[in-house]
Amino acid sequence: MATLETGDAKASETSQPTPLCHDSGKSIDDRVSDLLSRMTVAEKAGQLFQDMIIMGPGGTFAGPSPDFGFVGTEEVLQHKLMTHFNLLGPITDAKVTAEWYNSLQRYVLERTRLGIPVTLSTDPRNHFSENIGTGFRAGTMSLWPETLGFAALRDADLVEKFADIARREYLAVGLRLALHPQADLSTEYRWARIGLTFGEDAQLAGDLVQAYIRGFQGKQLGKEGVATMTKHFPGGGPQMNGEDPHFAYGREQAYPGKNSDYHLLPFMKAIEAGASQIMPYYGMPVGTEYEEVGFAFNKEIITGLLKNKMGFGGIVCSDWGLITDAQILGQDMPARAWGCEALSEEERILKILDAGCDQFGGESRPELIVNLVKDGLIPESRLDESVRKLLREKFTLGLFDNPFVDADAAAAVVGNAEFVKEGKMAQRKSYTLLTNKNNVLPLGEADIKTKSVYIEGIKPSVAEARGLKVTSSPSEADIALLRLRCPYEPRPGGFEAHFHAGSLEYPAQERVRQSKIYRKVPMSIVDVYLDRPAVIPEIADQSNALLVSFGSSDDAFLDVVFGADGIGPQGKLPFDLPSSMEAVMKSREDVPFDTEAPSFHFGHGLTYKD
């Protein structure tokens, strides 16, 4: 493929930039201005796109991948002149990942005219969830509960400690931009993205978002910091009927309670904490004073509200895939240009830039911008406005001074014993105890070894390693230990199936199956992993003890059940648990705590001392 060179005089230059932009003794503003003055339109256009990138086997450069629409490493670096990438897939070898990252930086230094360093970004990585569109399992990194678990603990200091540990692990392998935290509020309980929020209460979420940003960025972003991209402005929680706007049926965001300001509160806190970047969501507001187009296309939202009214001066990066139709994991995915479907690709770019966004997420189409400048539809000065911000962040992070990492040291930092220990303790503490009839918990670990135990959702090897006598038949068991997933309705499609959506109660057949276990087994202890607020009053009624968790291992569950080392559940619910789906469907999408007669209220959580 031909390069994006524009054919102007600057494009023909082969000399390296003068030392000013690489001179750390000069101010960042001077260095940015110097570099910007030397860039071609094609080089500027490349900065305005951030797309996924894949590491090839053994740390090699990956070629094109139809699963993710990736066009190949060398193509995006040398021909599309891009320098911002979102790393896909779990990190299973920190040293190999660090070496691959260094090879990216070496490539752009040696093979591109200006040697602008790469900024490598990532969705959350230190948790249990796995979804190509939202986050990845921890791999070799320290493993912590989802952010809902931090909300359950109400501990801003712990959130800051977690973010600081994650920052150090990110730095070790070259990750310099966190595509998180997720500051959305869980006011529509069916929404598939609740698991990575801080729950339903705006004040709590705002406080924890601030702690999260402090841990990653420090008091002021610098060379040891990881920039954060707070999302999804102006709050993705109020999705109509809880459907997600990755998909056309979920494109509408509704405010029947006229409560949009409530959803802005965590973003105001993020801005106060110095959030470097903000991402607007896919959804389009309906029934409001705003234009009914996706938020990144919406000038009243991005420029009028976020920039002018709320005073945000950082980088605004769109959510992924607003311009180009694509295919992800074999599923056709139209561009999420909600309300702007009739616009051409070029018209979508113009509208997003006019709205005030600085960068296009999930796209590798800088040639469109080059053509728009050539045709006089975008002034080069508009590119400069956004490129200046993007370059400034690279200088602030120290990437121009030293873009490389110590690959040998990476393995010693990522997933080290102290970090892993802290993550395991957080998993245990974040357990939330909803019922404990006759104080059956904690169980005596010595006593239970004389009894037969029926297990679900626990690896038999883990149970047997604890000395439990496992039986496969509930009728032969003295105790049942069940680890269940939050209910959802499976969706089709290679990509869509990863989003847990729809009903929050178990199907009738599953409720009957569980009920038989509770009747047959004298004592049943249940743990439900909540990535959304489940409708489970029948489990609370029929089991002897009901715990909920937000990302934890089997060993963490058994430690809590046995009260090992004095560890007991310390969590408090980060949202209400509704009593019925009827109550959920009657509630207003934008209003917190709006379901009638919830089974358990926000803040409920017992301890073994209660």
Which residues carry out catalysis? 319
Using CA atoms, how far apart are residues 304 and 291, in angstroms rounded to an integer?
A: 12
- 3-state class percentages of the chain: helix first, strand second, coil last, to nearest 5: 40, 15, 45
Nearest to 588 by CA among 194, 288, 238, 201: 238
**Phi, psi for 405 (deg, rounded to 5):** -120, 165
Sorted by sequence, the CB contacts under 8 Å of residue 25 that are 6+ apart come out as none
Which residue's entry shows tokens 């970004």? 121
Q: Is the peptide bond before 232 cis (omega within 30 degrees of 0)?
A: yes
Asked if residues 152 and 605 have their Cβ atoms less than 8 Å apart, the reply is yes
* 522 burial level (CB within 10 Å; 0-12, 13-18, 19+): exposed
Using CA atoms, how far apart are residues 275 and 226, in angstroms rounded to an integer?
A: 11
| Residue 105, Ramachandran bin (φ over 0: left; ψ between -120 and 50: alpha; else beta) | alpha
Sorted by sequence, the CB contacts under 8 Å of residue 331 that are 6+ apart come out as 493, 494, 495, 496
Q: Is the peptide bond before 124 cis (omega within 30 degrees of 0)?
A: no
Sorted by sequence, the CB contacts under 8 Å of residue 92 that are 6+ apart come out as 139, 140
* 463 burial level (CB within 10 Å; 0-12, 13-18, 19+): middle
